[in-house]
């Protein structure tokens, strides 16, 4: 997964050149809480909402922070064993882009409820998060983490935490690409260990 701040826009997704004002009637906090609720209802796990608004320890934005220059949002989460990302920067306010992602997920949940769930699975294939730039799609997860192929969930998590101490971009020697590779390895390892 990725960090909530600063904005981690998905690699390869084009940006909107000219943004519009949306007609959503919401606040940042309400939009964010409603988005997390939609993700929970859908069965998504490990959600991270990434924006250019600094967040408090509880994951909510600081109340008095000025509107960022970049209103884009990207929500990363795990869905049926795959890392998925929905991103939006069509609107000129962060809260409206969050609301747009929430509405999209709500619509996909509706499709699943109405009996055409195979369409939802096909739609989600287009939102699978891409690997970090310059990294192989199928990096061997257990080598990245330094564990055996038969590692338990606890071993995977412990190895991830240890490696994150040196891979995180906020520490000397760390980088976004190293952390992305480590995150991908953890997600794949946990998926395999869950079988």
For the chain, which domains are there? 28-125 (no CATH), 141-193 (1.10.287.110)
Q: Higher model confidence: residue 96 or residue 66?
A: 96
CA-closest candidate to residue 89, choices 30, 15, 8, 6 = 15
Mean pLDDT within 102-123: 76
- Name 88's bridge partners: 73
Q: So what's the pLDDT on residue 114?
A: 76
Whether the pLDDT of residue 136 is over 60: the answer is: no
Question: How much is the pLDDT for 112?
Answer: 78
pLDDT at 135: 43
Largest CA distance in the chain: 52
Q: Residue 26 — very low, low, confident or very high, per pLDDT cuts 50/70/90? A: very high
Burial class (CB in 10 A: 0-12, 13-18, 19+), 32: buried
When pLDDT is averaged across residues 21-27 and rounded to a whole number, the result is 93
pLDDT for 133 beyond 90? no
pLDDT above 90 covers what percent of the chain? 38
d(CA 100, CA 104): 6
> Quick one: pLDDT at residue 29?
87
Using a cut of 0.85, tell me whether the model's pTM lies above it.
Answer: no
pLDDT at 102: 97
Per-residue pLDDT of 144-195, as tens digits, reads 899 988 899 899 989 989 988 888 877 888 887 888 888 888 888 888 887 7
How confident is the prediction for the chain on average, in pLDDT? 84
């Amino acid at each position: 997964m990725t960090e909530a701040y600063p904005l981690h826009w998905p690699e390869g997704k084009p940006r909107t050149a000219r943004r519009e004002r949306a007609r959503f009637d919401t606040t940042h906090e309400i939009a964010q809480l409603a988005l997390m609720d939609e993700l929970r209802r859908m069965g998504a796990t490990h959600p991270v909402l990434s924006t250019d608004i600094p967040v408090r320890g509880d994951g909510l934005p600081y109340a008095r922070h000025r509107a960022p220059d970049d209103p884009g949002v990207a929500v990363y989460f795990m869905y049926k064993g795959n890392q998925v990302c929905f991103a939006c920067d069509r609107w000129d306010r962060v809260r409206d882009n969050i609301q747009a992602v929430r509405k999209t997920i709500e619509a996909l949940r509706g499709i699943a409820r109405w009996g055409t769930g195979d369409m939802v699975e096909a739609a989600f294939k287009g939102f699978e998060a891409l690997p970090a730039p310059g990294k192989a799609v199928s990096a061997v997860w257990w080598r990245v983490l330094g564990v055996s192929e038969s590692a338990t969930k606890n071993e995977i998590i412990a190895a991830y935490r240890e490696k994150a101490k040196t891979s995180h971009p906020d520490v000397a020697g760390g980088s976004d690409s190293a952390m992305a590779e480590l995150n991908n390895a953890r997600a794949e390892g946990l998926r395999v260990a869950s079988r």
